[in-house]
Chains A and B, each alone.
Chain A
């Protein structure tokens, strides 16, 4: 393994806000184990400046990890007009739920829409699969 490049890969901390997407919902109904649902779920929308700092191009895969899980998803540029460095967006799915904390303060309500993770380039590693 090439440790040099491993150490050199830039890493940033981000906060993920999840949302719903009609195309993704439709894909889930049609086949929740299918490619379209995966392609519309396993993505993260980052600020262009964050992509640059990560040294990652649109469409490359990135690793999102925290103490609850680790997933590989595709990086996209959000395209929002207001900058949002350090904040990224993901459709709500089994992928985002891999990273949601079990810490609820006893309220029974997890923070589905507010997830803190570290992002780094996945260097070509494939998107995480949820196969039955």
Chain B
């Protein structure tokens, strides 16, 4: 019997083995997905709608108002897009170019530097399928996929039998967690959990590098050298090692140099790849699409056909310095997810929120357009956290506009 599989867009894993039972455009049952995926696919939807100044309007009015906000702004901010399809992202880049906008996404304050390093071939990487089939040493560094990417360990990184790993985790894989707290993932790693103090990562990396070349590993927080030497020994023996790098690691480093040093040292002794734990289902896609267009993964400002890039064009710095005078937020809720000390400045400028669900940001927007959930109510393509392209079709039909259709209409109205 031929099965009809769907893709879950609940996180960066883009699981492609989801079965659903639906009737009259309502999803009743979701099989195979994790609890986050099930909630995502069965997301309760209120009324479709368009709002201007918190009053319901028709589509044409909302689109016209959005276009006029962008037209009147000198330096609009376009932000979000981690949960938009490639097609919508490409349109947003075009729109940013047309409106001389500042364009940024969440990678700006999370995994952007690592994705950039991968795209520039500065770090060796691999796919999740490689991990499943070959990986013998798996490190979760400042990452807790049991909470952030629930099927990571069961579908790819630890539990499955892979083509070259038929005896599975019991005998053939070692999972290691390096973290500031005993996360759910760290618990699974058992004795291979290495607890370090907050911001202790860079020192731990250098101690580990020392241990890899047989030197005595030292840290200012007196991590037992014997434990680091043991860890170095395991890593040295890896035939196919992989580091899954999470926000815990990124946030504790000033720049990515320690990671580059570690990858170099590991690859002198063994074979190691790195995969960033991208959370939003298409953040990596945004980075790749913008990189292809401009040579930068995020934080750009378009101006008369040229592109500028730098931290001053990041969502955080441009809001903080109040250099942007309007905002188009697509599939993101900065009033919840950014420090309020920064996002409060959004309350002073006209905001257009394009989002499948009501958020604090949508509630405070001048224009709100309630869109289809991509992957559930609209189709398209995206890039999985490991760089694999995935296409998906909608599970149910909706009258709501997709992000892509919305952006197209705004562009036409400009």
Which of A1-9, A56-64, A108-116, A119-127 interfaces with chain B? Answer: A108-116
Closest CB of chain B to A86's CB: distance in Å? 11
Contact B36 A97 (CB under 8 A): no
| Of B36, B109, B147, B180, the contact of A112 (CB 8 Å cutoff) | B109
Complex contact A109–B251 (CB within 8 A): yes
A22 pairs with B35, CB closer than 8 A: yes
Asked whether B36 lies within 8 Å of A22 as measured between CB atoms, the reply is yes
User: Is the Cβ of A97 less than 8 Å from the Cβ of B337?
Assistant: yes
How distant is the Cα of A54 from the Cα of B134 in the complex, in angstroms?
50
Whether A89 pairs with B181 at a CB distance below 8 angstroms is yes
Residues of B with C-beta under 8 A to A110: 109, 316, 338-339, 342
- Interface CB pairs A-B, < 8 A, 8: A17-B198, A22-B184, A25-B148, A29-B43, A97-B340, A108-B109, A110-B338, A130-B336
Q: Is B108 at the interface (CB under 8 A from chain A)?
A: yes
Q: Indicate which residue in A22, A32, A102, A106 contacts B342 across the interface (CB closer than 8 Å).
A: A102
Bound-state Cα–Cα, A33 to B363, Å: 11
B150 sits at the interface (CB 8 A): yes
Q: How many residues belonging to A are interface residues under a CB distance threshold of 8 Å?
A: 40
Given contacts A93-B336, A114-B198, contact A108 B317 (CB under 8 A): yes
| Known pairs A109-B109, A114-B199 / 17 extra A-B pairs, C-beta < 8 Å | A17-B181, A20-B148, A26-B35, A26-B36, A26-B39, A68-B339, A93-B336, A100-B339, A101-B339, A108-B311, A108-B316, A110-B339, A111-B251, A112-B109, A113-B251, A114-B251, A130-B336
Contact count A vs B, C-beta below 8 Å: 121
Asked whether B314 lies within 8 Å of A108 as measured between CB atoms, the reply is yes
Interface of A is mostly: loop
Interface of B is mostly: helix
Asked if B124 lies at the interface with its beta carbon under 8 angstroms from chain A, I say no
Do B340 and A68 touch (CB < 8 A)?
yes
B residues 96-141 in Cβ contact with A at 8 Å? 108-109
Question: A interface vs B, CB < 8 Å?
Answer: 15, 17, 19-23, 25-26, 29-33, 68-69, 80-82, 87, 89, 93-94, 97-98, 100-102, 104, 106-114, 130, 132
Q: Range of interface residues on chain B?
A: 35 or more
B341 at interface, CB cutoff 8 A? yes
Chain B CB count within 10 A is highest, among A33, A108, A113, for: A108
**Do A108 and B299 have beta carbons less than 8 Å apart?**
yes
Interface residues of B in 144-194 (CB under 8 A from A): 144, 146-148, 150, 180-184
Q: Which residues of A contact B148 (CB under 8 A)?
A: 20, 22, 25
Interface residues of B (CB under 8 A from A): 10, 34-36, 39-40, 43-44, 108-109, 144, 146-148, 150, 180-184, 195, 198-199, 247-248, 251-252, 299, 311-312, 314-317, 320, 333, 335-343, 357-360, 363
Residues of B contacting A98 in the complex (Cβ-Cβ under 8 angstroms): 340
CB distance A107 to B311 under 8 Å?
Answer: yes
Minimum CB–CB distance from B336 to chain A (whole Å) comes to 4
Residues of A within 8 A of B252 (CB): 113-114
The listed residue (A15, A31, A112) touching B198 by CB distance below 8 A is: A15
Contacts A19-B147, A19-B181, A109-B109; is A132 near B358 (CB within 8 Å)? yes
Which residues of chain A are within 8 angstroms of B198 by Cβ–Cβ distance? 15, 17, 87, 113-114
| Interface contact B316-A21, CB-CB below 8 Å | no
Bound: A68/B344 CA distance, A? 11
In the bound assembly, the distance between CA atoms of A80 and B193 in angstroms comes to: 13
Q: Which residues of B are found within 8 Å of A106, using beta-carbon distances?
A: 311-312, 317
